[in-house]
């Protein structure tokens, strides 16, 4: 199967026009010795065969629709209103390029402008960009932006309670920079950033500090306190947030974060085994010209009508090249659109109701588990919809039993924090029913 529109007759006419006589002469610009001799790719498939092939492979996967899942840790199975994919599935959106030509792209431009506004509202920040790759790289870009703002400062602090993979990506992003990355330990009782340790690490050399809230363990950090401490030393606060939690938790803008970023998957994007997801990024107005990635701005057209364009493009690689604020080009436009449609559909009350149900249901489960013999809540901080449970019953045994019952998760923490080898990270979203939670408790209590 191929998607070529020209017919053999077309080929003939066109070859003639360009002075060739056979299709295989089209390799003419490639010197003989560079041409490929043998190409070991299987033959093409028709639609029927493709569907059969990839349906068969799909059958080898279990999934969170069939199996109740208690996995979170940066990827969440929230309610996705049906309307969302009816909109993102429109060819006018998903088969367009980045809206370089404003007059031919007002639809996407306006949608992204609305998305920027929603993210700014949700985070309480002044301005948001049009998206970055994912939560992890948005945190890394935040650090890079902070370093650029804090010219001369060469240290970056990151809480050990930030998602381990985010810390890894941050490390990768900074690996070629003359920068020192320092981890603030977490308090082993609270499961939160150790504020005393933080105090000790503060210095004039520190450009910024990255804290996640709720953090990887689900605990809600004392962000206002952290913010105050950092600002007292001229350090920028990068707050990595879970957008759904902002239906309930104080937003970064409220406690003075300088950059709010994170993973927007939870806003209507499918789990899809980890991607494509959505890095969101919001900051203060004064940092606008330092922002990485695309920005949509409002303007007027020749007749004075409101219009939208990509703006402040001089920050970007296609104009500024090696001096750009980031190398990003293709970003995650469709995921941003998805988030916007989801946020519009849930709206002002929906985001609160979703957050509230997450809170209620996760605390119900936590309460039941903590009363179960052999299980205890590992940390004592307040949490949103994730929490760590320690069990002496043998994690791999529990894992096996859960899978047998068709339950996915919770997540064992041993690969992320060796000291938490007896711990499981539970996540509960609004998609769970009391029945499911009770079933889970029953399976664990066997």
Interface ranges with a copy of itself (CB under 8 A)? 47-48, 55, 65, 79, 81-82, 86, 89-91, 430-431
Minimum CB distance to a copy of itself smaller for 94 or for 100: 94
First and final C-alpha spacing in the chain:
53
Instruction: Determine the interface stretch with another protein among 109-117, 148-156, 182-190, 372-380 (rule: CB under 8 A).
Output: 109-117
Question: Coil, helix or strand for 65?
Answer: coil
CA atoms within 13 A on the CB side of 214: 29
Which residues lie across from 186 on neighbouring strands? 193
Token pair recorded at residue 174:
């900074």
Q: Which helix (H) or strand (E) holds 187?
A: strand 186-187
319 binds ligand PLP (CB under 6 A): no
State which of positions 343-372 bind another protein (CB under 8 A).
343-354, 356-357, 359-361, 363-364
Q: Which does 247 bind (CB under 5 to 8 A by kind): ligand PLP, another protein, a copy of itself, none?
A: another protein
- Closest approach, Cβ 285 to another protein, in A, equals 9
Instruction: Determine the interface stretch with another protein among 25-33, 149-157, 180-188, 197-205 (rule: CB under 8 A).
Output: 25-33
Question: Among 329, 370, 397, 421, which residue sits at the site for another protein (rule: CB under 8 A)?
Answer: 329
- 155-159 vs 180-184, strand pairing mode: parallel
CA atoms within 13 A on the CB side of 332: 26
Minimum CB distance to ligand PLP smaller for 23 or for 329: 329
Structural contact between residues 127 and 112, judged by C-beta atoms closer than 8 angstroms: no
- Closest approach, Cβ 48 to a copy of itself, in A, equals 6
Binding mask 415-444 for another protein (x = CB under 8 A): ---------------x--xxx---------
21 binds ligand PLP (CB under 6 A): no
Q: Which does 258 bind (CB under 5 to 8 A by kind): a copy of itself, ligand PLP, another protein, none?
A: none
Question: Among 13, 26, 189, 329, which residue sits at the site for ligand PLP (rule: CB under 6 A)?
Answer: 329
- Closest approach, Cβ 200 to another protein, in A, equals 24
Structural contact between residues 351 and 343, judged by C-beta atoms closer than 8 angstroms: yes
- Closest approach, Cβ 225 to a copy of itself, in A, equals 37
Of 284, 351, 299, the C-alpha closest to 127 is 284
Q: Which does 209 bind (CB under 5 to 8 A by kind): another protein, a copy of itself, ligand PLP, none?
A: none
- Closest approach, Cβ 131 to ligand PLP, in A, equals 13
Spatial neighbors of 259 by CB under 8 A, at least 6 apart, are 142, 145, 146, 208, 236, 237, 238, 239, 281, 282, 283, 287
- Closest approach, Cβ 91 to a copy of itself, in A, equals 7
Q: Which helix (H) or strand (E) holds 439?
A: helix 434-445
Which residues lie across from 262 on neighbouring strands? 280
Instruction: Determine the interface stretch with another protein among 146-154, 180-188, 221-229, 369-377 (rule: CB under 8 A).
Output: 221-229
Of 116, 78, 63, the C-alpha closest to 267 is 78
Question: Among 156, 208, 211, 249, which residue sits at the site for another protein (rule: CB under 8 A)?
Answer: 249
- Closest approach, Cβ 318 to ligand PLP, in A, equals 8
CA dihedral 293, 309, 348, 277 (to 10 degrees): -30
Structural contact between residues 407 and 68, judged by C-beta atoms closer than 8 angstroms: yes
Token pair recorded at residue 120:
């700014």
- Closest approach, Cβ 406 to a copy of itself, in A, equals 13
Of 280, 348, 336, 276, the C-alpha closest to 88 is 336
- Closest approach, Cβ 284 to a copy of itself, in A, equals 35
CA 253/CA 240 separation, integer angstroms: 12
Structural contact between residues 340 and 93, judged by C-beta atoms closer than 8 angstroms: no
127 binds another protein (CB under 8 A): yes
**160 vs 6, 212, 284, CA distance in Å?**
58, 9, 26
Question: Among 48, 152, 404, 446, which residue sits at the site for another protein (rule: CB under 8 A)?
Answer: 48
- Closest approach, Cβ 317 to ligand PLP, in A, equals 8
321 binds ligand PLP (CB under 6 A): no
* Residues near ligand PLP (CB under 6 A): 329-330
């Amino acid at each position: 199967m191929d998607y070529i529109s020209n017919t053999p007759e077309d080929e003939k006419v066109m070859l003639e026009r360009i002075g060739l006589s056979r299709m295989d002469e089209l390799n003419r610009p490639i010197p003989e010795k560079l041409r490929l001799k043998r190409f070991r790719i299987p033959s093409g498939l028709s639609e029927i065969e493709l569907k059969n092939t990839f349906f068969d492979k799909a059958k080898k996967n279990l999934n969170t629709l069939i199996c109740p899942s208690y996995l979170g840790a940066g990827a969440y199975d929230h309610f996705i209103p049906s309307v969302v994919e009816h909109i993102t599935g429109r060819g006018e959106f998903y088969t367009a390029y980045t809206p370089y030509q404003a007059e031919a792209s007002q639809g996407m431009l306006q949608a992204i402008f609305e998305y920027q506004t929603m993210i700014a509202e949700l985070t309480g920040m002044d301005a948001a960009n049009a998206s970055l790759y994912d939560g992890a790289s948005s945190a890394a870009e935040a650090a890079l932006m902070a370093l650029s703002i804090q010219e001369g400062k060469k240290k970056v602090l990151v809480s050990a309670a930030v998602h381990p993979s985010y810390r890894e990506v941050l490390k990768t992003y900074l690996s070629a920079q003359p920068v020192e990355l320092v981890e603030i330990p977490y308090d082993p009782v609270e499961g939160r950033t150790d504020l005393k340790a933080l105090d000790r690490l503060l210095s004039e050399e520190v450009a910024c500090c990255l804290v996640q809230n709720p953090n990887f363990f689900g605990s809600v950090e004392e962000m206002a306190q952290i913010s105050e401490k950092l600002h007292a030393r001229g350090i920028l606060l990068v707050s990595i947030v879970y957008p759904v939690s902002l239906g309930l938790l104080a937003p970064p803008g409220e406690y003075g974060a300088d950059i709010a970023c994170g993973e927007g998957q939870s806003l209507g994007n499918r789990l899809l085994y980890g991607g494509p997801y959505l890095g969101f990024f919001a900051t203060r107005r004064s940092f606008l010209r330092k922002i990485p990635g695309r920005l949509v701005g409002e303007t007027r057209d020749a007749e004075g009508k409101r219009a939208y364009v990509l703006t402040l493009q001089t920050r970007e690689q296609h104009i500024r090249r090696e001096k750009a604020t980031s190398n990003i080009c293709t970003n995650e436009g469709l995921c941003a659109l998805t988030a916007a449609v989801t946020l519009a559909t849930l709206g002002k009350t929906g985001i609160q109701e979703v957050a509230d149900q997450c809170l209620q249901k996760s605390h119900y489960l936590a309460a039941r588990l903590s009363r179960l013999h052999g299980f205890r809540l590992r940390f004592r901080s307040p949490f949103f919809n994730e929490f760590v449970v320690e069990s002496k019953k043998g994690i791999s045994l529990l894992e096996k039993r859960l899978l047998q019952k068709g339950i996915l998760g919770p997540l064992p923490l041993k690969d992320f924090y060796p000291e938490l080898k007896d711990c499981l990270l539970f996540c509960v979203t609004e998609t769970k029913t009391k029945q499911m939670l009770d079933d889970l408790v029953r399976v664990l209590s066997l």
